[in-house]
Amino acid sequence: PGHSDYAAWTRYKLNDLAIYAERSSARWTAALTAIGSVASQILQELGISLCSSVIAIGKVSCERPTGTEWISRDRGSPVFCHDEIAYREMLKEIDTASELGETLGGRFVVIADGIPAGTGGYGSLFERLDSRIGKHFMAIPSVKGIFIGNPDVSLRGGEYHDKLYIKDGIVFRQTNNAGGIEGGISNGERIVVEASVKPIPSLRRGISSVDLSDLNETKTPYVRSDTTAVPAAAIVGESMLALLLLEAILERFGNGDFCSIKRRVKDESIPHWNDGFGEEHDR
């Protein structure tokens, strides 16, 4: 239960259920993380930084990180949590679950800072930046749901929506409940993605199941597993966001030599910019 064994058996009818577990394994995320680390380095050169943080494991949780200092902070927590008090409680939660032969789920957040406003689009449903995030993050094994921005939708519209202000000719906001995306397009604020991760299906103490060879109820055998995959999933999510944001930026600013791409991205943040063809555009 919780893995692909029974659901995949009803679809493919192969007798060796281990095939399904291996095929749907999260091992492919190792390659994704390697590619995502390259994407992160490219984004860094464009003035865009990303970082993830675990904000809940089991019943222990903390507030999302605020400010900019945490993005460049060294990962000193073994569970990749920015909150020093919370991460120590998370470690205790993991130890307790391990002693009980249980597993734990949780939540992580990924934040991208410096994304140029206007990235993404609404030309098609799946050009939208939030559509891409939903598609890619839900492809990460064990992720059961995501939220972009502030999940507290009990707020009324006047409280939730990020009001626009002007100062010295620059438009700014004091809040970021939208999570950096409006109408499928980045609005210049940080992109904030929160994801929920289910507990690992393989429990050391076993769980009630059915033996398909004789259709008798039985308990699952223990093969192997960690107690929680939330910290690892946070790094995968960070890599996934880096990849899809880089793709969206290249679609907008074009490709070719990197210096030209970098110049286009930099010029876009200037009120009067030159598109490279000798024409200045008022924004």
Average pLDDT across each block of 10 residues of the chain; the chain has 283 residues. List them in order: 88 86 86 96 94 96 82 76 93 96 96 94 93 96 96 95 92 94 95 96 89 91 87 96 96 88 78 53 53
What DSSP designation does 190 have?
Answer: P
**Locate tokens 């929680």: which residue?**
228
CA distance 156 to 220: 47
- Which pairing describes strands 191-197 and 143-148: parallel, antiparallel, or unpaired? antiparallel
Res 282: pLDDT? 55
Among 103, 238, 115, CA closest to 176: 115
What pLDDT does 96 receive?
A: 97
Which stretch of DSSP H or E encloses residue 42? helix 29-45
Q: Which CATH code, of 3.90.550.10, 3.60.150.10, 3.40.50.720, 1.10.579.10, is assigned to 27-276?
A: 3.60.150.10
How far is Cα 196 from Cα 111, in angstroms, rounded to an integer?
Answer: 15
What is the reported pTM? 0.89
- What's the confidence (pLDDT) of residue 281? 54
Could you tell me the residue ranges of all domains in the chain?
27-276
Report CA-CA distances (Å) from 245 to 142, 241, 275. 22, 6, 22
* pLDDT for the residue 272: 47
Please give the pLDDT value at position 95: 97
Q: What does residue 242 show for φ and ψ, rounded to 5 degrees?
A: -60, -45
> H or E stretch including 55?
strand 49-57
